[in-house]
């Protein structure tokens, strides 16, 4: 996935809105701060986790909490959606109407990742398997880091010295992301889960299956 290179230049008016704070929002703050890109943050919670950390990284960041407006600020050109954000949000509808770029932190990670990815999902056991893979790969001499839905957010993993990334990906992350060009992808199992969000087992399974969309295009170890 390609992103507008003009957004890498330092700007004073926010061109990016990150929806959802928490761990993903904080990692996005660090990611964009390193690139000199002004960002706004929005979260429907009045006191979402991560607010203080975001302000530590971006003291001048604009934070919107609680009741959300129905339209995006005019300067916004890209929206980054955290895993827990409601896809029926009026702000996302406005982004669609304006034909803005809507991405996830995983998309941002993929755009800058220059090492093979091993992607793991499943209803149960994905954290255990991802951690085991990291241990095994490090033991055979491959500098490997593990994160995503487990532990460290994907954007905080980016490091030119890393040889293999092992990403645990939830159904929410996969549903909100484009294809992940992994060297290897695996679905461990699927059982009814998060149906309050996905609606049906079929929709939940389809979200999980997105892990295979670009599996044949990934860098090989």
Residues serving a catalytic function are: 126, 149, 194
Could you give the CA distance from residue 120 to residue 77 in angstroms, rounded to a whole number?
31
Could you give the CA distance from residue 114 to residue 165 in angstroms, rounded to a whole number?
10
Contact predicate 30/156, CB 8 Å: yes
- End-to-end Cα separation, the chain, in angstroms: 21
> Long-range contacts of range 59-64, CB-CB < 8 Å, 24 or more positions apart?
61/29, 62/14, 63/21, 64/40
Name residue, tokens 């660090």: 30
Could you give the CA distance from residue 128 to residue 207 in angstroms, rounded to a whole number?
21
Could you give the CA distance from residue 15 to residue 72 in angstroms, rounded to a whole number?
11
């Amino acid at each position: 996935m390609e992103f507008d290179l003009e957004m890498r230049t330092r700007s004073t008016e926010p061109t990016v809105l990150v929806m959802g704070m928490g761990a993903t929002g904080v990692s996005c703050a660090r990611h964009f701060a390193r690139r000199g890109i002004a960002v706004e943050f929005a979260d429907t919670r009045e006191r979402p986790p991560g607010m203080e950390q975001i302000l530590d990284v971006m003291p001048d960041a604009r934070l919107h909490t609680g009741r959300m407006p129905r339209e995006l600020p005019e300067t916004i050109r890209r929206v980054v959606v955290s895993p827990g954000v409601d896809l029926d949000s009026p702000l996302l509808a406005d982004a669609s109407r304006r034909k803005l770029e809507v991405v996830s932190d995983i998309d941002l990670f993929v755009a800058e990742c220059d090492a093979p990815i091993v992607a793991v999902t499943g209803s149960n056991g994905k954290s255990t398997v991802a951690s085991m893979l990291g241990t095994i790969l490090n033991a055979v001499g491959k500098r490997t880091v593990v994160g995503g839905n487990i532990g460290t957010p994907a954007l905080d993993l980016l490091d030119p010295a890393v040889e293999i990334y092992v990403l645990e990906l939830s159904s929410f992350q996969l549903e909100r992301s484009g294809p992940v060009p992994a060297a290897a992808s695996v679905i461990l199992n699927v059982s009814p889960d998060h149906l309050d969000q996905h609606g049906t087992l079929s929709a939940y399974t389809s979200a999980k299956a997105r892990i295979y969309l670009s599996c044949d295009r990934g860098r090989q170890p």
